[in-house]
A and B are shown apart, each in its own frame.
Chain A
Amino acid sequence: MQLSVTGIIRRFGPVAALGGVDLDVAEGEFLTILGPSGSGKTTLLKAIAGFEIPDEGAVRLGGQDVTLAPPRSREVGMVFQNYALFPHMSVAQNIAFPLEMRRRPRAEVRERVAEALRLVELDSFGDRLPRQLSGGQQQRVALARAIVFNPRLLLLDEPFGALDRKLRESLQLEVRRLQRRLKLTTLFITHDQEEALIMSDRIAVMDKGRIQQIGLPGELYARPASRFVADFLGESNLLEGRARNGVAELAGFGAVPLPPAQPDGKVTLLLRPEALRIGASTAALPCRAEAVVLDTVFLGQSAKLRLQLDGGTEMLARLPLRPSDPPPPPEGSRVALGFAPEDLHVVPQG
């Protein structure tokens, strides 16, 4: 069901944990709140789940104002960071809990628990206790428990944090598939930008109790609206310069053409590491410089290089590697680098 948050403010003493948050999640949408710890994303989640009452603003679910409603009447399924499975109840009892609280007939409970267990591929685990399961299995039980009562909204609070990388990736895709299949409106909280890019329909980047930017993952990555978003989402080279008559003067690269209608004055330019090219292929590029390799990190399908321009500026480059490619330039070597001006994005000042 559609979720709408308007003008939410929550103060703790003099500090505003939420400084006026507006957010709309469409029916069936998977929206991620991405932010560092202390950005207010957990407080926002609590206000939506009903564990926290905001000082100002409103939370609406399917048009109904639930700002002051207790958690139990909101019909919101939530997966906690540590799963919060009831340790003294079996997996089946855990999943049956929300149905029992709604006083569903016993036969229906049994049927829906079995269905939920099938959905998360834990058919034969109903009788086990949570602590007899692996972390990934516990996570799936928590998910089954959160969706078994057909909630109006699914909240996921950093549910993959405690899992190892391989498992995390497969569960992320599994959750995503399930969410699409059930058309569940979902709000996902994370500080992991990679996770946000993998899973979301849209991402809202949060910092200092406010939403800094909201949009499609590709949009946020290519055209961040602030330095913070550029820095937080993916790796970045942020270049400072002065614009005059549509051209910016950048240390090392000289004059770089800017997009049309760029006013004169200070500019911050974003260049993603994969847009910076190295070696012979740079000869044809309009913006070129020379640099020393500070270090090279081999990552398998690519290599990450930290470079220092002659002027002292440090830059990051990501070099795609095919098996037939020569090894990346070693530390201490001198390389030519360059980029195409259309790969630059002007980061709005603020």
Chain B
Amino acid sequence: MSSPRAETPGANRRLMARRREAGLLLLGLPALLLLALVFAWPVLRLLSLSVEGGTLAHFEKAALDGLYVTVLLDSLRIAALVTAICLALAYPVAFWLSRAGRLGLALGMFALLLPFWTSVLVRTYAWMVLLGRNGIVNRMLRDAGWIEAPLPLLHNTTGVLIGMVHVLLPYMVLPIYAALLRVDPDLSRAAEGLGAPAWRSFLRVTFPLSLPGVSAGCALVFVLSLGFFITPALLGGGHVIMISMLIEQQVREFLEWPFAAALSTVLLLATLAIYALIGRLTRGARLATP
């Protein structure tokens, strides 16, 4: 048999190279099909539902009725607050984890991921027990003599924030931790050797290089907060209304599928816009990191 390679013209080789890539695509196909079936298709259906009958009336209602705009802005505000609190709490944890020894890392990760193994519902009910007027937190504070009247911790924004931050914290810690791990420890050593005190070395070197992780964490937490349902519904006790709750109400109580679809579309667009914004803001940082 003659050597097949010697006879294969360039075009044929490209074809073979493409086939190899196609083989890889084949491996991803089941997941892609699943996503198309249970995600892309319903989203498209939702979109078409919201403009059913060729009218934009539902979007008009969403935009003009003050209630929906207020709730959407409220949801954005709460999502932004949750993101900011998560960032403030998560960064030091991630920093510590990235420099911890083997034991510290194992314990820290365990503590961080433990809540993941408990259902959000259970955790939210636990917060209701803790935060209520006669809850454990208020009773302890009163027994210690630090407060006289119980603090309003439940059925308001405070309660919602506490519960959501608790659930979403790991989504902030993990990306920042991963980004910090990739920062060469010699860099902060170099900065200190060149005359930088530890805090300046952090601000000028370590922190900017961890920005890709910060951006990923913020995007994740913000987007998850915006569509959060269980925790704000239970801990807000009806006093804090998120857009997801309005959508649920439209479907469950009023059977207003087209309007719910329009609200969902608005939420989806808002999410995508935020995502693009965060990506844009941290583009420079990502370009500079190797």
Identify the A interface with B (CB < 8 A).
49-51, 70-72, 74-78, 80-82, 84, 86-89, 97-98, 101-102, 129, 131, 145-146, 149
Contact of A101 among B186, B189, B200 (CB under 8 A): B200
B194 pairs with A131, CB closer than 8 A: no
**Could you name 11 residue pairs across A and B whose Cβ atoms are closer than 8 Å?**
A70-B192, A71-B189, A72-B192, A72-B194, A72-B197, A75-B195, A82-B184, A86-B204, A88-B288, A97-B196, A101-B200
Instruction: Check B184 against A84 for contact (C-beta < 8 Å).
Output: yes
With a cutoff of 8 Å between Cβ atoms, the chain A residues found around residue B197 in the complex are 72
Query: Interface on B for A, CB 8 Å cutoff?
Result: 184, 186-187, 189-197, 200, 204-205, 208-209, 285, 288-290
Tell me how far the C-beta of B194 lies from the nearest C-beta in chain A, rounded to whole angstroms: 4
Q: Which one of A75, A77, A101 has the highest number of Cβ atoms from chain B below 10 Å of its Cβ?
A: A101
Q: From residue B121, how far is it (CB to closest CB) to chain A in Å?
A: 43
Complex: chain B residue closest to A90, CB-CB = B288
Decide if A88 touches B184 in the complex (CB within 8 Å).
Answer: no
Chain B contacts for A75, CB-based, 8 A:
195
Q: How far apart are B215's CB and chain A's nearest CB, in angstroms? A: 14
The answer to whether A88 and B196 have CB atoms under 8 Å apart is no
Chain A residue numbers with a CB within 8 Å of B289 are: 87-88
Q: In the assembled complex, how far is the CB of residue B24 from the closest CB belonging to chain A, in whole angstroms?
A: 28
Q: Which residues of A contact B285 (CB under 8 A)?
A: 88
Are B193 and A72 touching (Cβ within 8 A)?
Answer: yes
Shortest B166–chain A CB gap in Å is: 33
Q: Beyond A84-B184, A88-B285, A88-B288, is A98–B209 a contact (Cβ under 8 Å)?
A: no
A97 proximity list for chain B (CB < 8 A): 191, 194, 196, 204
**Do B195 and A84 touch across chains, with their CB atoms under 8 A apart?**
no
Chain A residues with CB below 8 A from B209, complex form: 87-88
- Contact indicator B288/A101 (Cβ below 8 Å): no
CA–CA, A149 and B190, complex, Å: 14
Known: A82-B186, A88-B208. A98 touches B290 (CB 8 A): no
- Which residues of A are found within 8 Å of B208, using beta-carbon distances? 88
Whether A49 and B200, one on each chain, are in contact in the complex, defined by CB atoms closer than 8 angstroms, is: no
Residue from A51, A74, A129, A146 in contact with B189 in the complex, judged by beta carbons closer than 8 Å: A51
B193 and A102 within 8 A (CB):
no
Residues of B within 8 A of A98 (CB): 194-195
Asked whether B195 lies within 8 Å of A102 as measured between CB atoms, the reply is yes
**With contacts A51-B193, A82-B184, A145-B194 known, what are 8 further pairs, Cβ within 8 A?**
A51-B189, A71-B189, A72-B196, A84-B190, A88-B288, A89-B288, A97-B194, A98-B195
Q: In the assembly, what is the distance between CA of A82 and CA of B186, in Å?
A: 9
Judge whether A87 and B192 touch: CB under 8 Å.
no
Q: Give the docked Cα–Cα distance between A77 and B288 (Å).
A: 25
What residue in chain B is nearest A81 (Cβ atoms)?
B186
Q: Is B194 a contact partner of A50 (Cβ separation < 8 A)?
A: no
Q: Are B195 and A101 in contact (CB under 8 A)?
A: yes
Could you tell me if B194 and A87 are in contact, using CB atoms closer than 8 angstroms? Answer: no
Query: In the complex, what residue of chain A is closest to B192 when comparing beta carbons?
Result: A71
Query: Is there an interface contact between B192 and A78, defined as CB atoms closer than 8 Å?
Result: no
Interface centre among B191, B195, B200, B285 (most CB of A within 10 A): B195
With contact pairs A80-B190, A82-B184, A97-B204 given, residues A87 and B288 touching in the complex (Cβ less than 8 Å): yes
**Residue on B nearest A82 in the bound complex, by CB:** B186
Cβ contact of A71, chosen from B187, B193, B204, B205, cutoff 8 A: B193
Provide the bound-state CA to CA distance between A49 and B190, in Å. 10
CB neighbours of B191 from chain A (8 A): 86, 97
What residues of B have a CB within 8 angstroms of the CB of A71 in the complex? 189, 192-193
Q: What are the 3 closest A-B residue pairs judged by CB atoms, nearest first?
A: A88-B288, A101-B195, A84-B190
B192 cross-chain contacts in A, Cβ below 8 A:
70-72
Asked whether, in the complex, the Cβ of B193 is within 8 Å of the Cβ of A49, the reply is yes
A84 to B189, Cβ gap below 8 A?
A: yes
How far is it, in angstroms, between the C-alpha of A140 and the C-alpha of B290 when the chains are bound?
Answer: 19
The answer to whether B205 and A86 touch across the interface, beta carbons within 8 angstroms, is yes
- Bound complex: CA of A51 vs CA of B190, how far in Å? 10
Q: With A98-B195, A101-B194 as given contacts, are A84 and B200 in contact (CB-CB < 8 Å)?
A: no
Interface pair B288/A84, CB less than 8 Å apart: no
**Chain B: minimal CB distance from A84 (Å):** 4
Output the least CB separation between A159 and chain B (Å): 13
| Residue of B with least CB distance to A78 | B193
| Nearest CB in chain B: distance from A143 CB, A | 13
Q: How far is the CA of A5 from the CA of B161 in the complex (A)?
A: 57
Are A149 and B195 also in contact (CB < 8 A) when A87-B209, A131-B290 are? yes
Q: Given A88-B285, A97-B204, does the pair A72, B190 have CB atoms closer than 8 Å?
A: no
In the docked arrangement, what's the CA distance between A80 and B193, Å? 11
Q: A258 to B289, alpha carbons, bound, how many Å?
A: 63
Instruction: Kindly list chain A residues whose C-beta atoms are within 8 Å of the C-beta of B187.
Output: 84, 86
Q: Which residue of B lies closest to A155 (CB)?
A: B193
Q: Give the nearest-CB partner of A103 in chain B.
A: B195
Q: Which residues of chain B are within 8 angstroms of A131 by Cβ–Cβ distance?
A: 290
Q: Looking across the interface, which residue of chain A has its beta carbon closest to that of B183? A: A87
Is B195 a contact of A87 with CB atoms below 8 Å? no
Cα A97 to Cα B288 in complex, Å, equals 17
In angstroms, how far is the closest chain A Cβ from the Cβ of B198? 9
Asked whether, in the complex, the Cβ of A50 is within 8 Å of the Cβ of B195, the reply is no
Q: Which of B189, B194, B200, B290 contacts A149 (CB 8 A)?
A: B194
Docked pose: A51 CA to B194 CA in angstroms: 12
The distance in angstroms between the C-alpha atoms of A129 and B289, with both chains bound, is: 10
Q: How far apart are the CA atoms of A138 and B241 in the complex, in Å?
A: 55
